[in-house]
Amino acid sequence: MGERSIPPLKDYLPKSGGHNEGDSKNKSLIGETRLVHVTAIIRHGARTPWSSELKCWDGYWESPRTGKWDCDDLTSYMAPPSRNATVYDHPPATPLLFEKKYDALSNPEDGLANDLNGTCQMGQLIQQGYEQQIQNGKILRDAYAYKEGEYDHDERMRLLNTNMNSNSDKSDQFLPWQSPQQLYFRADDYQRTIMSGQILLRSLFDPELQSYQETHPDKSVVIPLHIADEAKDVLDANDKDCPRLKTIKAEALSSPEYQAFNNSQNSQEVREYMQSKLGMGDDSSPLDCLMCTVCTDRPLPDSVDDYDGTEKNWFTRLTEYDIQKDTVVMKYNNAQHSKLAMGPLWYEIMLNINNAIDGEQSPKLALFAGHDTTLMPLLASLGPDLWKETEWAAYASMMLIEIHELIDGRSDPDIYTSSFAFRLLYNGKIFTPLIDGCHEDCELCDIVHLKAIVDPIATRHTNCEAPTTTPTGGKATNSSGGQQQPSLVSRSTTTGMMLFATLLFLSGWVGSAVTFSVMRRRFLSKSVDFGGAWDIGDAAGDGEYGLELSEQGGGYR
């Protein structure tokens, strides 16, 4: 975590010209800038295993040193809302708190135990993860927080004003975490992501929070958390709501690229080693098993306890093999899977960025708390060079998208055609030059290049219908052999739904009319024997007795 600090902003990266930093021959390519928005996407911190069904090495779950997880040192608290209080009414600072303790099933000898054989939830944030997010909060504070009136902070990087006495109308104390113009906090409905974001924000605003609580002991600090049902959320790939993701994955697994990896000598040796030395099949999860173990200082089996910083040890070979099983799919066919999966999330991210560019209301900081499977496809969707097949997003990894306004008109017009630029960072490293269209010597890149890549995929209306396949296993087609198109039912646009409703109405109306016409003719053409219940006269004198159904006054009689 100590190597992930955000570097100060420079005008250029002195690479292509070969000059040293500060050399007078280096041309400044950009003028004065002002930071107007930052989107931060984080992975949760270190956690417990996400499932009790992980297929780890023989004896993993039976051993109390690896298969038992207790979390008494880090628990969650809940508080009911105060009566008649809204989020901006500052409810009392002493609400009724409930501490969640997962100890109700702690009798394994009686067959009653939690999934992880202790007091931890599956996938719960642990103490190491807590410390990691504390560091992330400090990293953001060092880079972006400043106090109005103090000038020891780079004015180009001033984003979050933490001077709580700077409210313009002086009617109330300014709270840097309170206003939607300052902060937006989004997470999915997992304990580890929610708590990771909470801890980061606590660390980011820690001095101000302490000061506020000291001066306002009768008030609580309330920060809105924007969340959704976990089963429907879009903070990582959701193939249940988007079946087409499964189709793309199946295509990737049968692709020449994946087959070359899967059938390579290295992959065959790794699978054989997993089976013979660890008792793990190819459906096992070596990456998760190994990382949950080493990140909590638990013992590894001797056969994989050989990490030496190289690529030749079995620890690295097993983890990289498991990683590539996902990343080859993630990057297949120009990151097709990643772009489809991340489209709705990119829409949320770009909504804040576009508002900042257009001068509309937008938070200074938008924090998204997600997973490794959030960060990796986001970066992969930006281009082929932003993610390597053998790398995985570490715990508490952080991706940053800074938006800078160009304010003095002195930027190189051949490089900057608009009034806004962006800087992309991942764990403190500058990734901007890896984006297509961005200058290799500049940390800041014209926003038009980011939008050219992201705008076509940033949408809520994704094509998620799973296409059919031809009998010969060819490309997905529709029944006429043409390119598969979304069916009317699957369209999420207003027009599609209106057309669908219209067709339903017309089909029902036509069916009713036909049915009525047929029944009317049959009913009027036959005699009806009422068994003497009614005396119906033979008015026509033709020996026929019946009932006539006639239209009258907008109805029938």
Per-residue pLDDT tens over the stretch 448-460: 999 999 999 999 9
Q: Which of 9, 10, 7 is nearest to 28 (CA)?
A: 10
Please say if the pLDDT value at position 544 is more than 60: no
Q: Which of 244, 303, 267, 249 is nearest to 59 (CA)?
A: 303
Please say if the pLDDT value at position 471 is more than 50: no
Please say if the pLDDT value at position 354 is more than 80: yes
445: which strand partners? 422
* 537 half-sphere exposure, CB direction, 13 A CA radius: 3
Give pLDDT, residue 26: 52
Give pLDDT, residue 227: 96
Give pLDDT, residue 555: 58
Please say if the pLDDT value at position 355 is more than 50: yes
CA distances from 219 to 14, 90, 148, 215 (A): 51, 6, 25, 9
Residue 542 pLDDT class (50, 70, 90 cuts):
low
Pairwise CA distance, residues 336 & 317, whole Å? 27
The amino acid sitting at 72 is D
Residue 152 pLDDT class (50, 70, 90 cuts):
confident
pTM of the model: 0.80
Lowest model confidence (mean pLDDT) among 233-242, 294-303, 477-486? 477-486
Mean pLDDT, residues 325-330 taken together = 96
In sequence order, what are the residues at sequence separation of 6 or more whose Cβ sits closer than 8 angstroms to the Cβ of residue 5? 139, 142, 143, 428
**Greater pLDDT, 46 or 87:** 46
Give pLDDT, residue 7: 95
Packing angle of the helix pair 372-380, 314-358 (nearest 10 deg): 70
For the chain, the helix, strand and coil percentages under 3-state DSSP, each to the nearest 5: 35, 10, 55
Domains and CATH numbers, the chain: 1-241+342-457 (3.40.50.1240), 487-522 (no CATH)
CA distances from 347 to 295, 378, 457, 459 (A): 34, 12, 8, 5
Give pLDDT, residue 108: 73
Lowest model confidence (mean pLDDT) among 71-85, 207-221, 312-326? 71-85
The amino acid sitting at 98 is F
